Amino acid sequence: MRDGETPAGDLLVILRHGSHGTSWLREGLDAALVGAAFGREVALLFMGEGVLGLLEGQGQGALGQKGTGPTLEMLEMYDIEALYVEEQAMARYGLEQRDFLLAARHLDDTAIAELVERHALVLTF
């Protein structure tokens, strides 16, 4: 799932937090969904701790926080199909594609820089 070219788009949302400790992941996903609902071409990049947000079974947290699993499953319905994950972070957390709820393209640092370059607007959460 690697190659050099990543398509250009309107909005790139970078997710750098896991599911539960804070609301960053949820509020970042909300921004992506709204962008797509407004007809924008949206891509998601799961970076750093954010790669944990892609894991299977993102249910309700122990403290009653809403799970992000259902939101991730909605991405396709919103035509958000450009999903990327930081390769280095996957290695750091010992994760493989089969651990993820959705298929995402693995990007190295150079490819991430290109991805950022190709988007008119980048929001980081």
Partner 1 sequence: MRYAILLMGAPYSDQASHSALRFARALLARGHRLETVFFYHDGVYNAARLAAPPQDEPHLVDGWAALNAEHGVTLQVCIAAALRRGLMDEREASRHGKSGYSVEAPFELTGLGQLIDLGLQCDRLVTFGP
Give the N- to C-terminal CA distance of the chain in Å, as an integer.
Answer: 25
124 binds partner 1 (CB under 8 A): yes
Contact 15, 23 (CB under 8 A): no
Measured from the CB atom, the residue of 65 and 88 that comes closer to partner 1 is 65
Tell me which stretch binds partner 1 (CB under 8 A): 20-28, 70-78, 83-91, 104-112: 20-28
- From 6, 11, 46, 80, residue interacting with partner 1 (rule: CB under 8 A): 11
Identify the CA nearest to 32 among candidates 66, 67, 100, 79. 79
Measured from the CB atom, the residue of 95 and 123 that comes closer to partner 1 is 123
Site for partner 1 in 93-122 (CB under 8 A): 120-121
Tell me which stretch binds partner 1 (CB under 8 A): 19-27, 45-53, 57-65, 85-93: 19-27
Q: Which two tokens stand for residue 85?
A: 């994950």
67/53 Cα distance (integer angstroms): 10
CB atoms within 10 A of CB 44: 26
SS3 state at 91: helix
34 binds partner 1 (CB under 8 A): yes
Residues that bind partner 1 (CB under 8 A): 10-11, 23-24, 27, 30-31, 34-35, 37-38, 40, 120-121, 123-125
